Amino acid sequence: MSISDKKSEKCFRSNLTLPNNVQEVPRLAEFVDAACEAVGFDMSTTMQMNLAIEEAVVNVMDYAYPPGTKGDVCIEAVAGEEGLVVIISDTGAPFDPTTRGEVDTTLSAEERSIGGLGIMLMRRYMDSTEYRREGDRNILTLTKKRTN
Amino acid sequence: MKTTFKEENNQLVMAFYGRLDTAAAVQTEKDMQVLYNCDGRDIMLDCNNLEYISSSGLRLFLGLLKVAKPKGSRVCISGLSNDLRQVFNMTGFTNLFEIV
């Protein structure tokens, strides 16, 4: 989604940088709540955005950097006329989550594996998920359109 | 996020309060250890006051089921809000647990 200069004057734009520590997730929730409020999303959509964005960010925190090493994840939220755009970036190992996350939800408890659910939820709740690698950065763009 | 635990009519009941996000899942996993000694007794996960759950929390529920089911325990989930029920539907968890 591109946002023209004229619109960007009116729209909400906010940045958050977190270390790769999942105990920082509550700060992410505050950030997402503020962005969703700026768009005017209802409570259900706000919960879904929290879920999708948490899953994407935690995935970076858990897997982008080698175990025991520090790294950051940057989150930019733009709330405009069209809805919410969230850009999540990191300088970790190349990883494209948009091609993952197919989970067979019909399997029994014994057969179900523990992984993959987070990325599946991210993909289901966002309208679009786009990944690109730019230099040493993973850049994931998540979009949720305004419905009303 | 907090949990409470009680034994009632030979059933193990754990109630969840607040947001079960990835940060809260670390402590919640420890809280849930008491349920692993179910020995065939049924387990009730009371979600009436659960506001939010992400995949880290769903993993804890699935992990419990994988331990409890072979021991002959039923795992029931009660009080899911409509929003949370949708998450459970989407992930196929409504087929795995008894949703009451």
- In this prediction, the answer to ipTM > 0.90 reads yes
The answer to whether B56 contacts chain A (CB < 8 Å) is: yes
Q: What is the pLDDT of residues B3-46, one digit of tens each?
A: 999 999 999 999 999 999 999 999 999 999 999 999 999 999 99
What are the tens digits of pLDDT across the range A61-95?
Answer: 999 999 999 999 999 999 988 899 999 999 999 99
A contacts of B58 (beta carbons < 8 Å):
117
Residues 6+ apart with CB under 8 A from A110: B66, B69
Find the residue in B nearest to A116 (Cα).
B55
pLDDT averaged over every residue in chain A: 91
Distance from A59 to chain B by nearest Cα, in Å?
A: 11
Tell me: pLDDT of A6 over 90: no
Query: Looking at residues A46-70, what average pLDDT do you find?
Result: 96
Sign of CA dihedral B64, B66, B68, B73: positive
Asked if residues B74 and B98 have their Cβ atoms less than 8 Å apart, the reply is yes
- C-alpha span between A68 and B8 (Å, rounded): 43
- For range B80-93, the mean pLDDT: 96
Contact A103 B58 (CB under 8 A): no
On the question of pLDDT at A8 being above 50, the answer is no
Q: What does pTM read for this prediction?
A: 0.92
The residue whose two tokens read 């030979």 is B10
Provide, rounded to the nearest whole percent, the portion of chain B with pLDDT above 70. Answer: 100
Strands (E), B1-100: 2-8, 11-20, 42-53, 75-78, 98-99
Check: CB of residue A28 under 8 Å from CB of residue A53. yes
Average pLDDT, chain B: 97
Of the candidates A139, A144, A141, the one whose C-alpha atom is nearest the C-alpha of residue A126 is A144
Q: What is the pLDDT of residue A101?
A: 62
Please state the φ and ψ torsions of residue A17, each to the nearest 5 degrees: -115, 125
Instruction: Please list every residue in chain B whose beta carbon sits closer than 8 Å to the beta carbon of residue A58.
Output: 22, 54, 56
